[in-house]
Amino acid sequence: MNHQKNTTEADFLKNYQVEKYEKPSVTVDVVAFTITEESEKNYRKNTDKKLKVLLMKRNDFPFHGRWALPGGFVGLREDLQAAVQRVLKNKTDLSKAYLEQLYTWGEPDRDPRHRIFSISYLTLIQSANLKVKDSSKHYEWFDLSMNKIHTRTEKLPDGERVITAHVLTFHGEKESFDITIEFIQTVKEHLISQSYHIAENDFIAFDHAKIIAYALKRLREKIEYTPIAFSLLPELFTLTQLQQVYETILNKELLKANFRRKIADMVTETNEYKKDAGHRPSKLYRFNSKL
C-alpha cells in the first residue's frame, strides 16, 4: 500500500494506484430506427410505412449466429459519441441524424465474457440518408413492431408488482422471429422501480432485446410531447406523411382532425405542393423551428 502523503492534486494523481480496482469494460450499443415506404401497386392506397431497426449478424462467439445491435468497445481515450460515430460510420452520417443517450445497462451477468457495461443510444435516420448496405458486416434492416399481449399483478408484502408482457416482432429479408419482453413495475409504499425481463428469446444476442424494447418505448413516449418525429421526415412534407410517421411509431390509427389540431403549432405552411400521380397536389409543410 502506498503511504506517501499527497499534498497537492498533482501528487495524488501521480501516486494513484489504479491497479487496486477491477476494471470492467464499456461498450456502446446503438438502436438505429428509420421509417421506409413500401411501394404500392395501387396508387389509390396510402403509402405503407414501416418502422425498421438495424441489426447485425454475429460471426464470433459468444452468441455466434445471433442478431445484435451495432456496437463496439469504447477506447480508453475515446469520446462516447465518437465511438457511436465509429460504429455507424458505414451506415449514416450522424451529423444529419437525431442522437440520444438512452440508458446504461450493467447487470453482472449480461455478457458471459466479462463485466461489461453498455451505454445505449437511440438514433433516428431519415431513409434518404441511409448508405448502401455493407454486406461484409452482415447488417440488415428489420421491420419492427411491439404489441402488448397481457398484464398480470403480483401482490407483495409491502406493495405490488405489475408485469406487462409485450411481443417484439422482427421481419427481415430472409428471417422473421418474435421475442417476448416483460416490463416490470414494482410499487413499494411510495417508491416505484422499473425493470425489463426477456421471457422468450432464441434470436437476439446478449440483452439487446431489452435495449430495443426500451428504445421503442422511449420513442413512443417522447413522440407525445416532443417534436422527435420530424427527425424521420425530409425538410418538406405533407401532413399526411407526418401523421403516417406518428401512426407507424405508435402502431395505431389516429383521427385526422384531432391529429392536425395537436400538431398545428409544430408546422409551418409553405407555398409548395407535392404532386403524385392519381392524386390532387398536396400542400407541403416544414417543421416550425421557432418552437
Which residue type does 239 have?
L
Which residue type does 2 have?
N
Task: Please tell me the distance from the alpha carbon of residue 74 to that of residue 81, in angstroms, as a whole number.
Answer: 10
Which structural domains are found in the chain, ordered by start? Answer: 25-222 (3.90.79.10), 228-287 (1.10.10.10)
Classify the C-alpha dihedral 256-233-53-215 as positive or negative.
Answer: negative
Averaged over successive runs of 10 residues, the pLDDT of the chain (291 residues) comes to 72 87 93 82 60 94 96 94 89 81 95 96 89 66 96 94 97 95 93 94 97 98 96 95 96 96 95 76 91 70
Task: Please tell me the distance from the alpha carbon of residue 182 to that of residue 172, in angstroms, as a whole number.
Answer: 23
pTM: 0.90
- What is the predicted pLDDT for the residue at 89? 84
Which residue type does 134 have?
D
* DSSP designation for 48: E
